[in-house]
Chain A
Amino acid sequence: MSDSAANSGPVLAADGTPLKRSLARALRMQKMRALALISPLLIFVLVTFIAPIADMLFRSVENDIVAETLPETVVVLQDWDAASGAAPGEALYDAFYIDLVLAEEQKLHTRLGTRLNYEKTGLSSLFRKTGRRASRFDTDIYTDQLIALDPSWKDPASWAAMMQSDANRTALPLTARTWDRWAAYLTGEGDDPAKKKLEDFLYTAAYLDMAAGHAKGASDARIAAAAAAAPGFETVSLKDQFAKADKAWVDPSVWETIQIFSPKYTNGYFLNAIDLQKSPDGIEPRPENQQIYLMLFKRTLFMSLVITASCILLGYPVAWILANLPSRTANLLMILVLLPFWTSLLVRTSAWKVMLQQQGVINDVLVWLGLVADDARLVMINNQFGTIVAMTHILLPFMILPLYSVMQTIPPSYLRAAKSLGATNWTAFWRVYFPQSVPGIGAGSVLVFILAIGYYITPEIVGGTTGTFISNRIAYHISSSLNWGLGAALGSILLGVVLLLYWVYDKIVGIDNVKLG
């Protein structure tokens, strides 16, 4: 009967509104209160954790520095065919000259050089060197010729006024855009563009507009006069100027790199992070000697697995004993398990250095016992072995604690029941106890594995070159090479791998089966 009532339509509350809506309203207040309670933490986490991480990860695809620093160049460069094998035409160098000088004024060209240097070595110094020279290029002839035509061209205030008019802006489009960038920069610096001395590149932009024929029939008399005179101006080839400054500027491969990385978003960092690179022919593997990240990812995953497995092997018996001892003794032993938590991570790791090094405690004992020859001391640190030993030790409590709390909930009567039913000790353990402790193994493994995969300090100290993790490389890019984009890409991949493994784990074991207590 209740079924047929449910099928005939939505259940109504006493006042005739659907019961669902009525219920939602009744629960809303409760939900709001619950939300209010967690909001301080939620906001804290959002502001200090989620947002910075999201911002950092976003850097792995963000690439607007090229388009922002070289807006004119990027537009012209679009039409250039890199496959032609020839350097771009004059128009590109004209645009690049304006961009570069403006960038140099704002000290942005070195940043751009550093960015492009990740993709092609040598670009950083090229930009730095040329930046200084570009402002002294022979473009002053345009300045001189325009001023000779009409001395008022020399007056910054007249430029500012000229650029107010829409008609003038259509007549001199490049000049207008360049003037806007210049004015914005000066305003930002606290200067008045109407008073600041005009630079050569502005005259060059004006000449280029006039030479291109945009200014024909301009309403402004000064522009019209200059436009009429412009075809007769003496000119200078900026391409030659750049070539003189550095031969690399007529090398098509430099422009190729700039062209590839001119879009606002790039997958270049990600490709780099998996040992690939962009080339005009598409995506190709990086040169053999530069391939490092895939190997590091594989090593990180493999060593994390080994560490997780050793934690299970070492932690399971300990957890078993803890769970089966009287609580007084168990608590005492638990303190021993927790003791590492109260010691600094650095101290523990350094202690392993003392233990494992060639002149260390273990080697000394082995030599003293005569098990190892003095000249053949074991290498146990600054390699994978050292990292695995130290990290297993450090992460062991994270395995023991969930195992212990799960084992504590398994009543001893299960084992007794199994034995009374005829199972040997081993069968009783394997068929009855172990399956019930699997949730603890799962929880411990997820914890240890995820902690291990992102571990940084321990591999840094005891890992040497063969025992370092991908996280050490990420830290290097974040703090030393300052290639944040690549660091962010590596971090994103690591995050992706962890999430993927989590998903696989959920599919196989089921995340419901993970119990922390």
Chain B
Amino acid sequence: MAVTSSNDAFVEFERVQKSYDGENLVVKDLNLTMPKGEFLTMLGPSGSGKTTCLMMLAGFETATHGEIKLDGRPINNIPPHKRGIGMVFQNYALFPHMTVAENLSFPLEVRKIGKSEREEKVKRALDMVQMGAFGGRRPAQLSGGQQQRIALARALVFEPELVLMDEPLGALDKQLREHMQFEITRLAHDLGITTVYVTHDQTEALTMSDRVAVFNDGRIQQLAPPDELYESPKNSFVAQFIGENNTLEGVVKEISGEHAVVQLDGGGLIDCKPVNVTEVGQRTKVSIRPERVEVNKDRLQEGAHLLKAEVKEFIYMGDVFRTRISVAGNDDFIIKSRNAPDQIRLKPGEQVEIGWLPQDCRALDA
């Protein structure tokens, strides 16, 4: 983890819990620290508590237990309008009865900023999102992407140090979404704003963030930079949730330091890296990324365990080939291989042997 010391923490959650009905905890014991200028994404399936965390930070929900600190100050009892946190909403929440310029000028007006300064700031914010010519329009006259930019400009116009974004790109089409992802990251880094971004789209989380907090069941399952999250998931939930993943179940047969052998339920032994298994005899879910599976024996280590498999389906996807095979009783085992001139194209019904480097195969909790 990049930052653990709470001394230079800008946003801090300390043992935060939240319950709506007094029976179930939506957020269970949340601890999180964020340094200034970081772009942190809260990622998780719906109902995992990520939006609740964001709303608690914004001040729209109160924590049932624990403390939330902003720049060292506890903010639990500060009303939302005094927190000075910019926020971009899922449906943009642009005020329909005001023009774009009026929308942007609103946070400045309530802060009693003079007219000329206001106009200048609005103009600067609009230029920043390349919407300088749209000040006189109404939100309804703008396209989704344009509304998104305005919402962003409005959240930034009063120069908050912290900006929260609640699935801001959910309503946009794929191409526009990718473009906006880039734009938001660029703006956040250029302006040095601390950003908390909530999404359920893992690609978005991986491409945009400095760190990603994966939420499930009210807890942060893993908080790590994107590459670490993808390559070294700490538990089977994260492995399943981030990217595509093949799972094989079995029992640990040997374990020594960074190496373990697992006896699969469907038959066969495999080499892997133990992550959260410690003893022989423990049940485990072995996770392996589709692109790390090797069909070509030459690329494997000496003495590596191999598994017999049967090709079920071959899908040509342009840049990659996707092959579904049946291995160790799992019919949905996917192999992804790059479309290169020397790449083998497998045919359904073909019998193959597959293997992988032990460090790419992670033995996780069952």
Contacts and interface: CB of A to CB of B under 8 A. Distances in A.
B93 A431 contact: no
Interface string B256-272: 00000000000000000
Contact of B86 (A420, A423, A428, A436): A420
B90 interface: yes
A425 B60 CA distance: 12
B58 A421 contact: no
A417 B88 CA distance: 8
A459 B59 CA distance: 51
Nearest to B104: A421
Nearest to B55: A416
B89 interface: yes
Contacts of A413: 89-91, 93
B118 to A, nearest CB: 13
Contacts of B154: 421
Interface string A421-452: 11111011001100110000000000000000
Residue from the set A419, A422, A427, A428 with the largest chain B CB neighbour count within 10 Å: A422
A19 B155 CA distance: 50
A284 to B, nearest CB: 52
B95 interface: yes
A314 B5 CA distance: 55
A422 B110 contact: yes
Contacts of B96: 436
A414 interface: yes
Nearest to A431: B106
A248 interface: no
Contacts of A436: 95-97
Contact of A422 (B60, B97, B158, B164): B158
Contacts, number: 67
Contact of A421 (B59, B79, B97, B158): B158
B110 A423 contact: yes
Contacts of B60: 416, 419
Contacts of B299: none
B34 to A, nearest CB: 18
A435 B106 CA distance: 14
B239 interface: no
A421 B89 contact: no
B218 interface: no
Interface in A334-349: none
Nearest to A420: B87
Given A414-B95, A436-B97, A422 B81 contact: yes
Given A423-B81, A424-B81, A417 B110 contact: no
B111 A422 contact: yes
Contacts of A416: 58, 60, 80, 87, 89, 93
A320 B234 CA distance: 47
Contact of A417 (B83, B84, B93, B158): B93
Nearest to A415: B93
B126 to A, nearest CB: 16
Contact of B110 (A411, A414, A421, A435): A421
B87 to A, nearest CB: 4
B333 to A, nearest CB: 43
Contact of B97 (A425, A428, A435): A435
A417 B89 contact: yes
Interface of B is mostly: loop
Residue from the set B60, B91, B93, B111 with the largest chain A CB neighbour count within 10 Å: B93
B91 A421 contact: no
A418 interface: yes
A449 to B, nearest CB: 24
Contacts of B79: 419, 425
Interface string A388-408: 000000000000000000000
A428 B80 CA distance: 12
Contacts of B91: 411, 413
Nearest to A417: B93
Residue from the set B60, B81, B85, B111 with the largest chain A CB neighbour count within 10 Å: B81
Interface in B104-133: 106-107, 110-111
A317 B300 CA distance: 72
Interface of A is mostly: helix
Size class of the A contact interface (CB-based, 8 Å) = 10 to 19
A458 B80 CA distance: 48
Contact of B80 (A411, A414, A419, A435): A419
Given A416-B80, A436-B96, A421 B107 contact: yes
Contacts of B59: 419-420
Contacts of B82: 422
B81 to A, nearest CB: 5
A423 B106 contact: yes
A413 B60 CA distance: 10
A326 to B, nearest CB: 11
Contacts of A419: 59-60, 79-81
A424 B79 CA distance: 9
Interface string A461-484: 000000000000000000000000
B110 A427 contact: yes
A316 to B, nearest CB: 17
A424 B110 CA distance: 8
A411 B97 contact: no
A412 to B, nearest CB: 9
A425 to B, nearest CB: 8
B84 A422 contact: yes
B103 to A, nearest CB: 9
A512 to B, nearest CB: 13
A414 B93 contact: yes
Given A411-B91, A427-B110, A420 B58 contact: yes
Contacts of B158: 421-422
B84 A411 contact: no
Nearest to A423: B110
A408 to B, nearest CB: 15
A204 B60 CA distance: 99
Residue from the set A421, A424, A435 with the largest chain B CB neighbour count within 10 Å: A421
A414 B87 CA distance: 12
B106 A411 contact: no
B6 to A, nearest CB: 25
B314 to A, nearest CB: 47
B80 A432 contact: no
Contact of B87 (A417, A424, A425, A428): A417
B37 to A, nearest CB: 20
Contacts of A411: 91, 93
Contacts of B97: 435-436
Interface in B146-193: 154-155, 158, 164
B299 to A, nearest CB: 52
17 contacts: A411-B93, A413-B90, A416-B58, A417-B89, A418-B106, A419-B79, A420-B58, A420-B59, A420-B155, A420-B164, A421-B158, A422-B82, A422-B84, A422-B111, A422-B158, A423-B81, A423-B106
Given A411-B91, A413-B90, A421-B155, 16 more contacts: A411-B93, A413-B91, A417-B87, A418-B95, A419-B60, A419-B79, A420-B83, A420-B155, A420-B164, A422-B81, A422-B110, A423-B107, A424-B110, A425-B79, A435-B97, A436-B95
Interface of A: 411, 413-414, 416-425, 427-428, 431-432, 435-436
Interface of B: 58-60, 79-87, 89-91, 93, 95-97, 106-107, 110-111, 154-155, 158, 164
User: Which 9 interchain pairs have the tightest Cβ spacing?
Assistant: A421-B107, A417-B93, A420-B87, A413-B93, A419-B80, A435-B97, A423-B110, A419-B81, A422-B110
